[in-house]
Amino acid sequence: MANSEKHPWTREEFEAQLRGMERYYHIHHPYHTLMNEGKLTKGQIQGWVANRYYYQVSIPRKDANILANCPDRETRAKWIQRIMDHDGHPGDPGGIEAWIQLGMAVGLTREEITSEQHVLPGVRFAVDAYVNFARQAEWHEAASSSLTELFAPKIHQQRLDNWPEHYPWIDKDGYAYFRKRLTEARRDVEHGLEITLDWYKTREQQDRMIKILQFKLDVLWSMADAMYMAYINGMPPYFNVGA
Ligand SMILES: O=C(O)c1cc(C(=O)O)c2c(n1)C(=O)C(=O)c1cc(C(=O)O)[nH]c1-2
């Protein structure tokens, strides 16, 4: 049956389909399962934190692209909060600073983190693909691509629950980022879902949204693949050709 002949999903069915995509979330990537089971070395944890920094600094640029393409004032007034969450505002140093604190808690220096010297090309390409998608896509589509955040509170909570036991060498002050995201991600998801469930009406459009969410899941999975190759297989780019 062609897409156009299929019945559209109801709001509830559509939301259930989106939530069902959790099976492809990076929580299931071996880099993350090893991390959650306490099986990563200090260097492998440091590699993850240093690389994820590039995601952290790119998220507000992604959100600024969505704002730039959005003619709806009410949406912009809400969406701008995401930029402030990460970049900070008076009274809150912001998520990027909290991530740097996490980096220092795992033994990296501020300079090592902010210089992006450890960021792998594969991670950079994956994250840049997300920012570029937000720049070029119709704004509802770009906004809806944030919905991997549906699955994020669980992964942040797992880290808060398991890291102190598995990685006692990490300074507890470093965990503020994960705590901060628990509430922020839930609020983001509420707004993101509202936009998404209102926007995609026909089954063809809803199927397209599933593909957009898959793209975003691919971004996160590909980041973890690049880190697995470099830090677990010991095969960073050019490892075999010498300096
Ligand atoms: O640690 C994680 O696994 C994880 C995943 C995601 C995500 O699912 O995209 C985000 C975050 N963290 C996060 O902290 C964050 O601020 C965030 C913003 C967004 C987004 O797409 O706008 N995703 C995520």
Question: Cβ(242)–Cβ(170) under 8 Å?
Answer: no
Q: Is residue 159 situated within a structural domain?
A: yes
What is the overall mean pLDDT for the chain? Answer: 97
* Residue 66, pLDDT score: 98
* Residue 218, pLDDT score: 98
Give me the mean pLDDT over the 180-205 stretch. Answer: 96
* Residue 242, pLDDT score: 82
* Residue 1, pLDDT score: 57
Domain count, the chain: 1
Q: Is residue 147 situated within a structural domain?
A: yes
Give me the mean pLDDT over the 35-42 stretch. Answer: 98
* Residue 151, pLDDT score: 97
Give me the mean pLDDT over the 52-62 stretch. Answer: 98
* Residue 185, pLDDT score: 93
> Is 213 a residue whose pLDDT tops 60?
yes
Residue 49 Cα, ligand 1 centroid: separation in angstroms?
13
47: which 2 tokens? 């590699």
Q: Is residue 6 situated within a structural domain?
A: no
pLDDT, greater one: 3 or 46: 46
Q: Which of 148, 179, 215 to mutate to test the pocket of ligand 1 (most atoms within 8 A of CB)?
A: 148
CA pair distance 225, 219, nearest whole angstrom:
10
Q: Is residue 243 situated within a structural domain?
A: no
Domain that holds residue 17: 11-232
CA pair distance 217, 26, nearest whole angstrom:
7
> Is 243 a residue whose pLDDT tops 80?
no
* Least confident range of 3-7, 37-41, 73-77: 3-7
- DSSP codes joined into one string, 86-100: HH-BTTB--HHHHHH
The SS3 of residue 144 is helix
Ligand 1 atom nearest to CA at 151: 8
Ligand 1 atom nearest to CA at 63: 22
* Residue 2, pLDDT score: 62
Model ipTM? 0.96
Ligand 1 atom nearest to CA at 150: 8
The CB density around residue 124, as the number of other CB atoms within 10 Å, is: 16
**Per-residue pLDDT tens for 3-25?**
557 899 999 999 999 999 999 99
Cα 129-132-133 angle, rounded to 5 deg: 85
Cβ of 59 below 6 Å from ligand 1 = yes
Give me the mean pLDDT over the 64-85 stretch. Answer: 98
**Per-residue pLDDT tens for 110-125?**
999 999 999 999 999 9
Q: Rounded to two decimals, what is the model's pTM?
A: 0.96
Q: Is residue 241 situated within a structural domain?
A: no
Q: Is residue 240 situated within a structural domain?
A: no
Q: Is residue 117 situated within a structural domain?
A: yes
109: which 2 tokens? 């220096």
* Residue 5, pLDDT score: 75
Q: Is residue 53 situated within a structural domain?
A: yes
Share of the chain above pLDDT 70, in %: 98
Kindly report the CATH number assigned to the domain that includes residue 169. Answer: 1.20.910.10
**Per-residue pLDDT tens for 116-161?**
999 999 999 999 999 999 999 999 999 999 999 999 999 999 999 9
pLDDT, greater one: 190 or 242: 190
